[in-house]
Amino acid sequence: MRNGEECKHCSECNAPMAKDDVSKLSPAQLKLLQYVDVLDGPDRVKALKWVHDIAIYESTEPLCDAEKEALYQIKVLWQLIEDTLQ
């Protein structure tokens, strides 16, 4: 903390936050953070990886571009969750 300023803490996980962090998030982003907390985050990552891998490696059907993009977005989401948890 700089200059003796106190930082705010997340109401869900008590993690320290900068003063402006909450005001910059939309209600949807805040709701997403409630779903991805420290306790459930690893399970969410594992589930997203399984969905991704099943769609790619277990399916015999070719994927269209929209499906490939959706699977890529799933990968981005689990990577963001992993980064947030570290």
DSSP letter for each residue of 46-75:
HHHHHHHHIIIII--SPPPHHHHHHHHHHH
Model confidence pLDDT, tens digit, residues 59-72: 888 989 999 999 99
- Residue ranges per structural domain of the chain: 1-25, 36-85
What pTM value is reported for the model?
0.56
Model confidence pLDDT, tens digit, residues 47-61: 999 999 999 899 888
Q: Which residue has the higher pLDDT, 72 or 84?
A: 72
Phi, psi for residue 39 in degrees, rounded to 5: -75, -40
Q: What is the mean pLDDT of residues 65-81?
A: 91
